[in-house]
Structure 1
């Protein structure tokens, strides 16, 4: 039975009286032996940040003077292919297009859609190349302030269930699930997911996070369009859209992998506490969330299981860089491998994703980061594997979750009434 409704919660938000906790704050109370009561909490905020391959953006961009070309055949944004249409935009000098977060620049194999999206949100000028249906080449520049539309659409975001990966074979394997070719056998593990902070982990049956729910996508107020592609009741995910004009570039970007550039972004959701059942779903703890460990050659080949306490608890969220320990190697493996380009002789903490590749790549101890070593059962054997790459960023997830809590407390974010 509900103890309150959405209208009552929104009224408390507007009066500045709503009690809001993050999912981690709830979990910490449970860990300490307390059991929060539904009548004492109005909203729980949850969030995640990580590689979200099903991310695209819809743009309407000025490409040339009106009448300068009839229709676009091919479009490049900073060398990243866009797909023009469906609207022909005849003779307008502008183009409707879709760009994928996983598309790769034809000029720079390390630059892709995720890096492009971050540059656009930062307000940078973007190089446009259009080939018309008549073979004309039109070059120009634009930025987000000149675009008629810049909207992100995620076709499968914020998965409830993730899989960790390792290579049980002798041969290195290139995959989107690791920043570099993964060595084997059992030399390292990569994983995704923010565990007890993750939105759908706190609302596993999607009782409150559903079609029409307002969320934050990379800091912009967006909306859940419904379940995402490949979503299933036991493994749900979300389709979300939001305006890129209002996004914070801190929460999105590109991420290099062994199989090409990917995109990371961040999602935060507000869970209205309407009854005891909804609140109790947020009592989830990392130690109780299973994390399958699979062969990187196919996620259906599950080798064993661990949990999110094993990958997050008592580990560092960011590396510590000691320039005195740097030997200025001719080929710097950290510079070559850093998925977000955070190391260029110094560590750019704003770009850093906390993936751990620097610490696992530098042989001279210039980067220190406790990443954890995983023990899991495979058949009857216990396997020890070091964590070498995180594809989720708990720090950014926590920051966006806190930002959503702040907006609700300040009366700047109301709860959707689709229940």
Structure 2
């Protein structure tokens, strides 16, 4: 669509193109699984639960639980050798389940008259769970920081390891493929939007936590700071481990890489113009994670285009800096192409949102 709008203009592009598919595949920490293990013989109200030694939150009811992508295993062997290092966490549990692998569950309870059982151990696969939904409170950031380190030592962050003295710049987005860059004012996305999520069908529930609908914007309407986010969910039994990967961040912890794609219906010339976004149009803020970010008010050291980031090198403060992507552009493109094939060949339908994401 970028090429179509550049060559034909938004008027003709809007006539020619009905739908633009988007995609991203990137670590998304605010992700998790909401699930129910079912009653197994004597009734139980679980108060504590682990899956492959990763704690789940069970303060919901009976055998309902929630496991977060960033929760580390209690007895992680890597953490014993290097305190603060975690090899396995909630994101890996989710990957194991959607990949057809067995997960060991332990559960305990204080016991009540109506729920007398106190302990339970079992091995399950995804098919054994009566309910398992991917439930992600904050996915698909519309823009995000480029992380650098002006400190004198290497630091370990959720954006990956950052070398001292501005020796690398880490970033995370799929640029012109990224869903919310293609609909910057959320004209087509909101509650009830049907999406690609983790290799299966998902839905937008509304704005994600930390949703910022009113950042500084370019003339094209693109945000130049971290902006919109989405809360999403989907049935895990239709998902694919290729698009849900457990992640271990050196010196930081665990996460989950999520494949997410949204079809943007080209309803008018305005949306055609937005979906014609290019990597050169997208400006991203560079921030210091060595000193400023930990203090809670990181300065913007400069802005660079996504095209510059993809080139492998940016220039900042008179220095040339190697760039490092956390997002897989190859898998992001695969998400968009897969969603396109679903629409053309498998009857994937587009839905009108019942409530748009807040845009102001």
TM range (shorter): 0.7 to 0.9
Deviations 1:284-339 (A, max 9, x none): 110110011111141732211111101224xxxxxxxxxxxxxxxxxxxxxxxxxx
Contact 2:47/2:59 (<8 A) preserved? no
Deviations 1:252-272 (A, max 9, x none): 111111210111101111111
**Which TM-score applies when normalising by structure 1?**
0.73
Contact 1:62/1:142 (<8 A) preserved? no
For residues 125-164 of structure 1, the aligned pairs below 5 Å read 125-133=102-110, 136-164=118-146
2:259 match:
266
Deviating above 2 A after TM superposition, structure 1's stretches of 4 or more consecutive aligned residues are 28-31, 33-37, 134-138
Structure 2 residue runs of 5 or longer lacking an equivalent are 77-85, 112-116, 216-226, 355-360
Distance in 2 (CA, whole Å) between partners of 1:70 and 1:142 is 17
1:29 match:
4
2:322 match:
386
Q: Report deviation, 1:28.
A: 3.1
2:277 match:
284
2:58 match:
84
Contact 2:5/2:13 (<8 A) preserved? no
Distance in 1 (CA, whole Å) between partners of 2:350 and 2:272 is 16
Q: Report deviation, 1:30.
A: 4.4
Q: Report deviation, 1:137.
A: 4.1
Distance in 2 (CA, whole Å) between partners of 1:45 and 1:154 is 21
Q: Report deviation, 1:100.
A: 0.1
Distance in 2 (CA, whole Å) between partners of 1:232 and 1:42 is 29
Distance 1:70 1:252, change over 3 A: closer
1:59 match:
35
Distance in 2 (CA, whole Å) between partners of 1:70 and 1:34 is 64
Paired residue secondary structure (1:277): helix
1:236 match:
228
Instruction: Answer 1 or 2: higher relative contact order, Cα 8 Å, separation at least 6.
Output: 2
**Which TM-score applies when normalising by structure 2?**
0.85
For residues 191-270 of structure 1, the aligned pairs below 5 Å read 191-233=171-213, 234=215, 235-257=227-249, 258-270=251-263
Paired residue secondary structure (1:278): helix
1:97 match:
65
Distance in 2 (CA, whole Å) between partners of 1:256 and 1:157 is 18
Contact 1:78/1:126 (<8 A) preserved? yes
Contact 2:5/2:273 (<8 A) preserved? no
Q: Alignment RMSD, CA only?
A: 1.8
Q: Report deviation, 1:136.
A: 4.6
1:119 match:
96
Distance 1:411 1:137, change over 3 A: closer
> How many positions carry a matched residue from both structures?
320
1:169 match:
151
Contact 1:187/1:386 (<8 A) preserved? yes
Contact 1:73/1:133 (<8 A) preserved? yes
> Which of 346, 351, 358 in structure 2 is aligned with 1:416?
351
Contact 2:5/2:272 (<8 A) preserved? no
2:333 match:
398
Distance in 1 (CA, whole Å) between partners of 2:262 and 2:55 is 32
2:300 match:
302
Deviations 1:321-362 (A, max 9, x none): xxxxxxxxxxxxxxxxxxxxxxxxxxxxxxxxxxxxxxxxxx
